[in-house]
């Protein structure tokens, strides 16, 4: 794939789209593509997470210990939080078919944010908005359970 194709893929991801085209171009240049065979594990719950993956082709089953399961296909960012903070994977991702992912290392992501403060502010504002919404949702759920 060309850099332009990679940038177009990154633009499909709502969180990454916030960064702007210059930052996405840097990410596209510094990222790496990986092929994953059907049935192979991309990552396991509990693994150290030092990157995020964007599904380029194929699909993955994402499952945690509770048995909760979702399917992630093209354009989905797996491990979004791992791009900004050291953590362990909360789930396991297994390829449901032959798949291709684009791996973005946390170190690359952080260098891009450091080189583009405006992009970093947009991302911070988005995370703050999401956190506020989650807190509000929790309060609403708590109020419903109290009645």
Quick: pLDDT tens for 43-69: 999 999 999 999 999 999 999 988 889
β-pairing verdict for 99-105 and 48-49? unpaired
Residue 21: give its domain's CATH number. Answer: 2.60.120.10
- Provide the pLDDT confidence category of residue 1 given band limits of 50, 70 and 90: low
pLDDT at 143: 75
Residue 14 sits at the vertex; the CA angle it makes with 13 and 16, to the nearest 5 degrees, is 65
Which domain covers residue 120, as residue numbers? 3-146
Give the global pTM. Answer: 0.84
Q: Give the count of domains, the chain.
A: 1
Which distant-in-sequence residues (6+ apart) come within 8 Å of 18 by Cβ? 119, 122, 123, 126
Quick: pLDDT tens for 96-131: 999 999 999 999 999 999 998 888 888 888 877 877
């Amino acid at each position: 794939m060309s850099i332009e194709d990679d940038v177009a893929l990154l633009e499909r991801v709502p969180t990454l789209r916030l960064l702007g085209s210059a930052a996405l171009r840097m990410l596209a240049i510094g990222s790496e593509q990986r092929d994953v065979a059907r049935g192979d594990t991309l990552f396991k719950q509990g693994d150290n997470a030092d990157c995020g993956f964007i599904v380029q082709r194929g699909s993955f089953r994402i499952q945690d210990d509770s048995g909760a399961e979702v399917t992630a296909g093209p354009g989905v960012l797996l491990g979004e939080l791992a791009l900004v903070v050291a953590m362990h994977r909360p789930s396991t991702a297994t390829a449901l078919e032959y798949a291709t992912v684009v791996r973005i290392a946390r170190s690359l992501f952080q260098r891009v944010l450091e080189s583009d403060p405006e992009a970093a502010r947009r991302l911070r504002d988005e995370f703050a908005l999401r956190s506020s919404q989650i807190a509000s949702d929790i309060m609403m759920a708590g109020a419903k359970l109290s009645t």
